[in-house]
Amino acid sequence: MKSDVIPPLHDFERIVFFTGAGLSAESGIPTYRGRGGIWNKYNYEDFACQRAFDRDPEKVWDFHDTRRERVAACEPNEGHRIIADVLRAKPDCIVVTQNIDGLHQRAGVDGSRVIELHGSLWRVRCDRDGVVVANEQVPINPRRCACGAYWRPDIVWFEDMLDGRVLERAGDALLKADAIVSIGTSGVVYPAADLPRIAVSKGAASFEINLEDTPVSHLYQHRLRMPASVALTQLLRPRQI
């Protein structure tokens, strides 16, 4: 990318931070794809789809308890903290995230301002009763609802549909955005990967922070190839990149 004057985030009031696994990688949480990605090591059909859960819920829960344990041992990184600081200073900014780790909230972002496209590792639901509850136990105990059915992690697994209400809320935020900052997303998971187009089509300033190009990099006016914490620090002040 040629040298360009990149406007500081302070110039905008309705920023949408669109975050993915690359942001949390700086906290030690593995990404899903690429080198070291979870789905290079595990077959989702055994651990992360409704069919697997119906077949062997204990096996699926063993896998997710291990994930919960690893995520619980991690801390929000500087990128999470910078985003939290911006949201505290600017009440019309919001986070739309593909992450299920809850690190935005742990960094200090009010949960009402985090739209979790793929659910949360820290919620469970009972599909028999239609109940969703927060649960941060590691390991979870008991694994069954009072009705006798297994709790299910309240996350979007492979082959699941995204919640239409969550998608609508994310779309509304992107329609109103005057800037979108995409951080650490692979650009290959749909329909999430297509959401930034909403903001771009409405003329929002657009920034992509990633270590490498993605299939949607062409959407963005400004592309920063560096760790999220470094890029966000630079975006808080005007400079030549």
Dump pLDDT digits (tens) for 127-180.
999 999 999 999 999 999 999 999 999 999 999 999 999 999 999 999 999 999
pLDDT digits (tens, 9 = 90+) for 84-103: 999 999 999 999 999 999 99
Question: 2 falls in which pLDDT band (50, 70, 90)?
Answer: very low
- Average pLDDT over all residues of the chain: 91
**Distance of alpha carbon 224 from alpha carbon 211, whole angstroms:** 8
The domain 30-73+123-155 is classified under which CATH number: 1.10.10.10, 3.40.50.300, 3.90.25.10, 3.30.1600.10? 3.30.1600.10
Catalytic residue among 10, 118, 218, 222: 118
- Indicate the pTM of the whole model: 0.91
Q: Are strands 152-155 and 131-134 parallel, antiparallel or unpaired?
A: unpaired
Closest to 228 (Cα-Cα) out of 11, 25, 1: 25
pLDDT of residue 38: 67
**Distance of alpha carbon 150 from alpha carbon 197, whole angstroms:** 38
The residue with greater pLDDT, 169 or 237, is 169
**Distance of alpha carbon 157 from alpha carbon 42, whole angstroms:** 14
If you ran DSSP here, which 8-state letter would residue 71 be given?
A: H
Helix (DSSP H) and strand (DSSP E) numbers for the chain: 10, 11
Domain with CATH 3.40.50.1220 in the chain: 1-28+75-118+162-241
Token digits for 86?
A: 């911006």
> Percent of the chain beyond pLDDT 90?
83
Domain with CATH 3.30.1600.10 in the chain: 30-73+123-155
| Averaged pLDDT, 184-190 | 83
Query: Topology of 1-28+75-118+162-241 in CATH?
Result: Rossmann fold (3.40.50)
Question: 241 falls in which pLDDT band (50, 70, 90)?
Answer: very low
Q: Is the pLDDT of residue 211 over 80?
A: yes
Amino acid, res. 119:
G
The size of the chain, in residues, is: 241
**Distance of alpha carbon 71 from alpha carbon 147, whole angstroms:** 29
What contacts 24+ positions apart, CB below 8 Å, involve 126-133?
Answer: 126/151, 126/152, 127/152
Active site residue 118: yes
* Contact call for residues 125 and 46 (beta carbons, < 8 A): no
**Distance of alpha carbon 51 from alpha carbon 220, whole angstroms:** 37
* Contact call for residues 117 and 99 (beta carbons, < 8 A): no
Q: Is the pLDDT of residue 237 over 80?
A: no
φ, ψ of residue 185 in degrees (nearest 5): -100, 145
